[in-house]
A and B are shown apart, each in its own frame.
Chain A
């Protein structure tokens, strides 16, 4: 192929093309580029709502959990978004930096998934089953209680206390969990029993 000719032709075309588009650029034409949708589709469409309260501080802001799937229909529900509940008189839909990021708590990589046990002296946890874990806890509790239960004090007064095992409740569990916990713990005679309100 004759390079010189082809180059010449190309250069001439380019020159003409340039002149032509310069006119275009000065306002004598318009380029139609493909339009792309600017606005994201609304991500809460077709999700299921559940009313909840923020588990962090005691302002107890109302939040709405948005999920794919409906627990109330017996489905698996995956929470996809959490935001403030505007109907709530205290927070009126607002949330603090913790509340706004609640989804990250629900889905934290460090959420526990299964019961684990760490044997004495071991340097890591091993998986166990609920069955084994509860059995082990109950067994050790009973053994310790039977061994250390104080039925009467030195003065012969019935005291029925157990102080070699302790229970520490938190302060983000529900009142219902709290009361059931109270029943289970106190019925054993445990006195070393406290909750986060202490600190």
Chain B
């Protein structure tokens, strides 16, 4: 989230699209109902299903899953056509005026530079014209036909309300009503908030879905303001934290990236990071990259990381591919290229697409280790549960070790919510049986491994032997010890760069924040964006002061919000070019002539003058990007692509199948249904229900009572067509698998008309499996295709094709 849950109370219009906040995040949704009740805010829900969010909306518009970009670009087109744009904001705070290089084109659904064989682009043409001064060329009048604004205008022109109806199936009158309400928020005194989640990410163009809305929010001037923003609702309690701390194949903590094998040393590595400003005076905060990186290496390897060895740069593994994401990992496993796999509380068998492939892959492992508080399906993938897990245990040679871990109620520590708040929690109960904390388990594995390497030697033992392990009880580090390590420490005295007499931190002391980080090895810091969370003032994540001056919803003294306790990202953009709030009633920070101050920690250097320094300090431009240069694999603008399995052929680019830059593994393509397939005529989507949380709560008897059994939702029309009775049983199958379910026949799903064709939607909730208290059931991953988003490889769970028929009852 750019903003926070409590900030949603400040909005005028909530657009829930690509999410279902009322069902998946009920307590956060409270702030929507508060905004409605207290400010007269309106709620729009755009979704293939009439959801529980829709049940309290002011306007519901149906949409075919996987067509959000067409809808959003249609909105952008509407706003531009009708001059519903916050022009001053767009000119000053976006790259609308930046002139794009000759050679950049978009034609027939493809951007310039496409290589069909590689399914990838040469992105060199996707960039700005660079002037003689080394800075990007900008036309403030927006007259240049090659400036971003004019390119965007041309790019979205095709998405007329008629085209939106044709692609999305959204009736034109509903779309126009949405457009009118959204366009009103181009006023500087109106804010719209976007609440989205996996309904946007789980597509082969998930990142572009989000970009499209972000672009709309930028042209409406809604980023950085109270009640505005791009608010990813996010899934699990610490999905934000795990990502922040970098537990992904290609990441280091704090969104630093792992080197690839073309970067043999630290200098080569730094040459593509630490961006220089593209415009004069800009902060381009990544210029500090080296400080973050070196401090991280000091946290990892302590005294073994020295200037002489490039701060142990070689200890880091170097990537040969963009990343070993889970789809790649399981594809490798499927090929027998992975021997050991450790799952720390992640139910892979239920969570990844094409369950049959996942089972086959796990069956090829030598060892699977599962650490979990609950008996997961993954740990029991080899157990026969009839149709629900039809395997032959004797044929599976994988050794499985299941380790009982504690749950939230039994450990201390912090979780980062979607509003970027790091909140500390305290254990309240004794763990059951022999269950152990994850910190204990990981320490034991490390110490045992270290012991083995110390005793036996082996392949490059240095990083293991030298891993910094400064805990009082090495076998059982405490949460506080690790939190301090994440925050960072001064290894030598750290002084202010501008004023060397001013000491920021004495040697051995905790750092006040990331501004004190140094690139000479005098500081250590596990995760730079978290620095400040546990400093000499104490554990700031444990703060519980609910003071909130003027009830802005900022709660600056509650817990700690990264970065630097900032509650609204880009909050400098809440004020105009002179530093005055666009909307005086919705002030966040203002320029008082000498510095920035207000209700939040300014997201800019406190003394950066308003006219000079742009609000988007992480970007070398200092402004936000409507055109994203070469930073996305599938294009600098979003464009409509059909899902890989689609009931119609792409109306705007008939020759392009799916997202042309999305990675598809050998073999998986064969398992996709053809576009407009007669064999699989129905458009399916998967989703969560409010009664359950993923695959956990089916272990909770009370939640099992609330929603006991797997079902699929279909329209009355499809039920009539297929002879499916309410409360009857159905079989649903895709090219990859088949499930049996109860039928929920509802008015809340209606057939759509897309490109002249009736499209029926089949809704498949995801909470069932073969362990726990609820009835045994199937997961949608029996059916879903094995393909991910072009940029981040999130699987396409939200749009695929199936067929359906009535059956007499469940197969045993």
Contacts and interface: CB of A to CB of B under 8 A. Distances in A.
A86 B564 CA distance: 26
A73 interface: no
Contacts of B771: 110
Contact of A134 (B413, B444, B458): B444
Nearest to A170: B345
B318 A163 contact: no
Contacts of A176: 413-414, 439, 477, 479, 482-483, 486
Given A79-B428, A120-B397, A164 B699 contact: no
A78 B429 CA distance: 5
Contact of A65 (B404, B409, B423, B464): B409
B664 interface: no
A112 B795 contact: no
A153 B446 CA distance: 26
A141 B432 contact: no
Interface string A101-128: 1101110111111111111111111001
A121 to B, nearest CB: 5
A98 B417 CA distance: 17
Given A53-B408, A170-B236, A179-B253, A114 B332 contact: no
Contacts of A92: 30
B339 interface: yes
Interface string B527-550: 100100000000000001010100
A75 B433 CA distance: 16
Contact of A174 (B384, B415, B421): B415
Interface in B210-249: 233-249
B411 interface: yes
Contact of B238 (A119, A136, A151, A173): A173
User: Number of contact residues on A: which range applies?
Assistant: 35 or more
Nearest to B369: A137
B432 A113 contact: yes
B325 interface: yes
A87 B557 CA distance: 13
Given A104-B700, A110-B771, A168-B341, A196 B351 contact: yes
Interface string B432-463: 11111111011111101101110010111001
A187 interface: yes
Contacts of A51: 425-426, 544
Contacts of A137: 342, 367, 369, 401, 445, 448
Given A173-B438, A175-B530, A197-B242, A168 B346 contact: yes
A104 B332 contact: no
Interface string A36-57: 0000000000001111111111
Interface stretch (A1-9, A10-18, A23-31, A142-150): A142-150
Nearest to B427: A71
A53 B453 CA distance: 39
A60 B541 CA distance: 13
B773 A108 contact: yes
B6 to A, nearest CB: 5
B182 interface: no
B400 A57 contact: no
B605 interface: no
B287 interface: no
B346 to A, nearest CB: 4
A171 B475 CA distance: 23
A95 B438 CA distance: 26
Given A104-B703, A192-B332, A166 B342 contact: yes
A123 B428 contact: no
Contacts of A145: 458-459
Interface residues of B, number: 166
A110 B341 contact: no
B238 A174 contact: yes
Interface string B195-217: 00000001000000000000000
A175 B245 contact: yes
B340 interface: yes
B247 A195 contact: yes
A135 B448 contact: yes
Contacts of B346: 168-171, 195-196
B696 A197 contact: no
A133 B401 contact: yes
Given A108-B374, A173-B345, A96 B27 contact: yes
B136 to A, nearest CB: 32
Contacts of A182: 245-247, 253
Contact of A106 (B402, B429, B442, B706): B429
Interface stretch (B103-111, B686-694, B742-750): B686-694
B264 interface: yes
Tell me the dominant secondary structure on chain A's binding face: mixed
A55 B540 CA distance: 20
A74 B271 CA distance: 53
A79 B315 CA distance: 44
A115 to B, nearest CB: 5
B810 interface: no
Contacts of B458: 142, 145-146
A90 B28 contact: yes
Output the residue of A71, A102, A109, A166 with the most chain B CB within 10 A: A166
Interface in A80-106: 82, 87, 89-92, 94-102, 104-106
A180 B482 contact: yes
Nearest to B340: A165
A135 B320 CA distance: 31
A108 B25 contact: no
B356 interface: no
Contact of A178 (B245, B317, B700): B245
Given A104-B702, A177-B438, A168 B343 contact: yes
Contacts of B300: 183, 186-187
Contacts of B400: 117-118, 125
Contacts of B413: 174-177
Contacts of B398: 120
A55 B416 CA distance: 11
Contact of B317 (A55, A191, A195): A191
A157 interface: yes
A184 B236 contact: no
B24 interface: yes
Nearest to B345: A170
A19 interface: no
B318 A159 contact: yes
B382 interface: yes
A113 to B, nearest CB: 3
A160 to B, nearest CB: 5
Contacts of B383: 123-124
Contacts of A95: 27
Interface in B350-402: 351-352, 366-367, 369, 372-375, 382-384, 393-402
A90 B554 CA distance: 11
A43 B344 CA distance: 36
B212 to A, nearest CB: 21
A195 to B, nearest CB: 4
Contacts of A121: 393-397
A187 B444 CA distance: 14
B318 A171 contact: no
B520 interface: no
Contacts of B479: 174, 176
Return the 9 tightest CB-CB contacts between A and B, nearest first. A174-B413, A65-B428, A113-B433, A50-B428, A112-B404, A60-B417, A170-B345, A138-B448, A149-B459
21 contacts: A52-B425, A54-B237, A57-B236, A57-B237, A90-B417, A96-B26, A106-B407, A108-B701, A111-B373, A111-B699, A113-B432, A118-B401, A120-B399, A142-B449, A157-B264, A165-B340, A168-B342, A168-B343, A171-B235, A184-B443, A185-B247
Given A178-B238, A195-B239, 5 more contacts: A58-B237, A90-B5, A134-B448, A175-B414, A187-B464
Interface of A: 48-62, 65-67, 69, 71, 76-79, 82, 87, 89-92, 94-102, 104-106, 108-125, 128, 130, 133-142, 144-146, 148-149, 151, 153, 155, 157-199
